[in-house]
Amino acid sequence: MDEPRVALVAGAATGPGRAVAMELRRAGWNVVAQVEPGGAAAVDEAADAEVSAGTDDQLVVFQGDLSSEPSRETFIEDALERFGRIDLLVGPAPSPSNHDAADLLELTLEGTLAAVSRGFLASMFLAQRAANEMIRLIEGGSIDGGKIVFLGNISAYTTSGDQGLGCLNAAGTAMLTRLFADRLGEFGINVYEVRAGLMATSRAEPGHAQYDRLIREGLTPIRRWGRPADIARAVAAIAADELAFSTGQVINIDGGFHLRRL
């Protein structure tokens, strides 16, 4: 029997990241789930529910701050030490701590650098590290190919006056998808962005009533909030090689918001 494939899922404590980790686990993957320090309990609770339902695939929780190079290094090394391979890297989804509401005319250099360091720059250097290991494993015959899935959102092209840092991080993530897809195609590593729309998570709570009304009135053709499970199922399709002849692709999980209707 083929050895189970291994996925690294960043930002797995809550929302889309946790849903992705559990979905891949149900699909038979070994999963290394990264959470911020102190965030392991949420993943363990979800994993216990899966085990009680009959799932016994392996899941390892790694606690660390991915804006730190030593933490990124340890995340990769722990996965290799435990499982000997990396087939898929997912995430992380944008975090509200990366882009607290702030007027664009009042942003500081220090705050902006901190936000992008924890945002798309952390994603870039994590993907770089994982990609180099995938290349080594592919060239050594240990794996057939690899995949990287960036979790983005509609702020990549939608402005929001008090969320400039979030927009910058989302736009940066969108370009990372294209850059890594271009660079890694020759090695058999496919790269995707799963781009979320309005998600019914804690990030939406401050404006929930406003957006709830707009969705009901037709802001999106599919008139409901997005759910973490919607993101997870899209990632699972990529993981299952359903999009094998595609790379650099944006998978819009946004209820049709991207249509830009008149």
Classify residue 149: in a domain, yes or no: yes
Name the 3-class secondary structure at 62.
strand
Please give the pLDDT value at position 97. 45
**Mean residue pLDDT across the chain:** 90
Q: How far is CA 126 from CA 89, 176, 198, in A?
A: 9, 11, 26
pTM of the entire structure?
0.92
Average confidence (pLDDT) over 113-120? 93
CATH for 141 = 3.40.50.720
Is residue 24 predicted with pLDDT exceeding 70? yes
Classify residue 59: in a domain, yes or no: yes
Classify residue 194: in a domain, yes or no: yes
Q: Is the peptide bond before 92 cis (omega within 30 degrees of 0)?
A: yes
Q: What would the two tokens of residue 136 be?
A: 């080594």
Q: How many domains does the chain divide into?
A: 1
Please give the pLDDT value at position 5. 96
Handedness of CA 55, 57, 63, 69 (dihedral sign): negative
**pLDDT category, 208, cuts 50, 70, 90?**
confident
Tens of pLDDT along 160-183? 888 899 999 999 999 999 999 999
DSSP H/E element including 164? helix 164-184
Classify residue 213: in a domain, yes or no: no
Nearest Cα neighbor of 140 from 181, 84, 98 is 84
Classify residue 88: in a domain, yes or no: yes
Max avg pLDDT among 35-39, 167-171, 202-206: 167-171
- DSSP characters over 97-144: GGS--B-GGG--HHHHHHHHHHTHHHHHHHHHHHHHHHHHHHHTTS-S
Classify residue 222: in a domain, yes or no: no
Classify residue 206: in a domain, yes or no: no
Please give the pLDDT value at position 152. 96
